[in-house]
A and B are shown apart, each in its own frame.
Chain A
Amino acid sequence: MNLAEGVQIVSLGVLAFLMLATSLGVVLLDNIVYSAFLLGGVFISISGLYILLNAGFVAAAQILIYVGAVNVLILFGIMLVNKRQDFTPVRNAWLGKAATAIVCFGLFALLSTMVLATAWPISSGPIAGDAALVEIGKHFFSDYLLPFELASVLLLMALIGAIVLARREFLPEEMVDSTDEVLTLPERRRELTSTPRQ
């Protein structure tokens, strides 16, 4: 179908442009809030690519997790910290930037050469489409059962760890008076240590 193909090519172009533009914006803009919002744009464009690849579920999951959770969390972090501090301009900063750019372009050239030079074995199986969801579920409970279950341990621990790091500590009575030493390393700072007696 010509119509469908045309629509696909145009959408691919639009999505790719959006993705490149937003991700460049994330990296290059000075205002961190803009970067964070544009990151949301990157994620949404990626999810658009997934839709083009007939992976609707992955696309929706991408939006739910990356836009709805990760990006919102980043924004919360930025907005609650609210540290307005002007950076002192680094002298010869362009050197670092140029080096970064060269490394990035080199890596890009290498990887794109590799991608183009390789005769990728492309799956010839039927496209799952909407049934992809069922396929994913079957894999979760057959050959990927163990990682799936291990992920639950990982998530449990991440939950506990996040709470441990974020909660207000209720300290035992005997420790309340020495609050400056609580929850710190027993080792003193280096500048506080003594020198050997002569």
Chain B
Amino acid sequence: MTTGIDLQASFVQILEQFGLPHGVAKLVWLPLPMVLIVAAVTVLALVSTWLERKVSAAAQQRIGPEFMGPQGMLVPAADVLKLLTKEDIVPAKTDPWLFTIAPILVFVPVFLSFLIVPFGQNLVITDLGIGIFLWVALSSIAPIGLLMAGYASNNKYSLLGGLRAAAQSISYEIPLALSVLAIVMMSNSLSTIDIVDQQSGYGILGWNMWRQPVGFIIFWIAALAECERMPFDLPEAEEELVAGYQTEYAAVKFMLFYAGSYANLVLSALLFAVLYMGGWESPIPVSWLAGLLNVSETTPWFQVVSASLGIVITLFKAYLLLFLAVLLRWTVPRVRIDQLLDLGWKFLLPIALVNLLLTAGLKLVFPGAFGG
């Protein structure tokens, strides 16, 4: 199933043809993926804010943004421009250092986590051995940033929002990690590439969503809670807490929170697609398509096509989930904080544990279907 495209090798080769030594060529390559990923993530997050506006409007039978660009597509760009040019206010009596560091602490781990999102067999920044565990670990840094923001703002709404956000985040991290663990157990690897590979070969039928229906639901609920999306958006519940830990923030710092939250949503959707919906695998196996078209899978043009198809499919799945999240936002009422914590600790956690146990048992009994 390898696409045979190794971007790093071909890039280095091209530079060497220009007469650069190998070491220097590698040095030039090193920052490129990071730059690429930052740019791509920013674009993905911006697209999702546009999607949020459009789908919300449709759900409320409005039109939504219309005039800026086709279908109002330039609204996110205008947003960014506005937030960049606004005055960066640091309110008096805040703690200026913590106030500044907090948004960065929330924002950076999310971007780092994109390191492990695969868009194709070789289309991933690093195929780390610890793969998905890196995401679980990095996402646990965010509560520190939230608490910091809440504390530094010197505002009771902010502090309450920060505490709520951190409590919610650590509570839902556990069922999330447990449902991921069930997947990892089936694929015998933490690497996201291996997890997708293990789902490949049977098209839509091979995806983990059929083998892990319980984990599928737990993960989605927990991911929504981690992203503070609507049924769980208590930390910034505007009726109670103004805007939670974001209350005092403006301009660039607010933008970091804002972008971080959308990037986190996109990240969760992408990983959801990777873990449960076959990642870059198309619903119909590519090898079967190749057989139908009577081309060899190693043909260069077919490789290019299937690689781009992989990217498109991954993004399509992710945005489908994002669409679902936006729909949920306008159809589900917000839960109370005690209900939220009860749901996390007393319902999702035991279910996730049972699911893990069940997966282990099924793996022993049906090693073929559950990755022996």
| Touching chains A and B, CB distance < 8 Å | yes
In this complex, the member of B26, B133, B143, B144 whose beta carbon has the largest number of chain A beta carbons within 10 angstroms is B144
In the complex, number of A-B residue pairs with CB atoms less than 8 Å apart: 74
Whether a CB of chain A sits under 8 angstroms from the CB of B166 is yes
Query: A40: which B residues are within 8 A, CB to CB?
Result: 141, 144
Whether a CB of chain A sits under 8 angstroms from the CB of B159 is yes
Is the CB–CB distance between A67 and B27 below 8 Å?
A: no
Instruction: State the CA gap A61–B2 with chains docked (Å).
Output: 31
Return the CB mask of B201-214 against A: 1 if under 8 Å, else 0: 00000000000000
Is the CB–CB distance between B128 and A37 below 8 Å?
A: no
Instruction: State the CA gap A33–B134 with chains docked (Å).
Output: 27
Given contacts A60-B137, A68-B170, A80-B163, contact A130 B147 (CB under 8 A): no
Is the CB–CB distance between B129 and A63 below 8 Å?
A: no
Taking CB as reference atom, which chain A residue is nearest B174?
A69
Is the CB–CB distance between A63 and B141 below 8 Å?
A: yes
Q: Which of A70-78, A97-105, A144-152, A185-193 sits within the interface?
A: A70-78
Return the CB mask of A48-61 against B: 1 if under 8 Å, else 0: 00000000110011
Is the CB–CB distance between B23 and A68 below 8 Å?
A: no
Interface residues of B in 122-144 (CB under 8 A from A): 128-130, 133-134, 136-138, 140-141, 143-144
Return the CB mask of B302-343 against A: 1 if under 8 Å, else 0: 000000000000000000000000000000000000000000
Given contacts A57-B129, A131-B129, A133-B130, contact A68 B151 (CB under 8 A): no
Is the CB–CB distance between A133 and B190 below 8 Å?
A: yes
Taking CB as reference atom, which chain B residue is nearest A40?
B144
Is the CB–CB distance between A60 and B144 below 8 Å?
A: no
Is the CB–CB distance between A72 and B151 below 8 Å?
A: no
Instruction: State the CA gap A2–B24 with chains docked (Å).
Output: 12
Is the CB–CB distance between B129 and A64 below 8 Å?
A: no
Given contacts A72-B166, A133-B190, contact A37 B133 (CB under 8 A): no
Whether a CB of chain B sits under 8 angstroms from the CB of A79 is yes
Interface residues of A in 114-131 (CB under 8 A from B): 129-131
Query: How many residues belonging to B are interface residues under a CB distance threshold of 8 Å?
Result: 27
Query: A72: which B residues are within 8 A, CB to CB?
Result: 140, 143-144, 147, 166, 170
Instruction: State the CA gap A195–B140 with chains docked (Å).
Output: 58
Interface residues of A in 33-55 (CB under 8 A from B): 33, 37, 40, 44
Min CB gap B36→A, angstroms: 20
Taking CB as reference atom, which chain B residue is nearest A57?
B130
Query: A129: which B residues are within 8 A, CB to CB?
Result: 129
Q: Which of B130, B148, B167, B170 contacts A37 (CB 8 A)?
A: B148
Query: A2: which B residues are within 8 A, CB to CB?
Result: 23
| Range of interface residues on A (Cβ < 8 Å) | 20 to 34
Min CB gap A158→B, angstroms: 15
Min CB gap A126→B, angstroms: 15
Interface residue SS majority, chain B? helix
Instruction: State the CA gap A161–B53 with chains docked (Å).
Output: 48
Whether a CB of chain A sits under 8 angstroms from the CB of B281 is no
Is the CB–CB distance between B130 and A69 below 8 Å?
A: no
Query: A68: which B residues are within 8 A, CB to CB?
Result: 137, 140-141, 143, 170, 173
Min CB gap A26→B, angstroms: 14
* Residue contacts A-B, CB under 8 angstroms, 26 given: A3-B26, A33-B98, A40-B144, A56-B130, A56-B134, A57-B129, A60-B133, A63-B137, A63-B141, A64-B137, A67-B140, A68-B137, A68-B140, A68-B143, A68-B170, A72-B140, A72-B147, A72-B166, A75-B144, A75-B166, A76-B163, A79-B150, A79-B151, A79-B159, A130-B128, A133-B130
Chain A contact residues, CB within 8 Å of chain B = 2-3, 33, 37, 40, 44, 56-57, 60-61, 63-64, 67-69, 71-72, 75-76, 79-80, 129-133
Sample of 13 further A-B pairs with CB below 8 A, known A33-B98, A80-B163, A130-B129: A56-B130, A56-B134, A57-B133, A63-B138, A67-B144, A68-B141, A69-B170, A72-B143, A72-B166, A79-B147, A79-B163, A130-B130, A133-B129
**Among all A-B residue pairs, the 6 with the closest Cβ atoms:** A68-B140, A130-B129, A60-B137, A64-B137, A63-B137, A56-B130
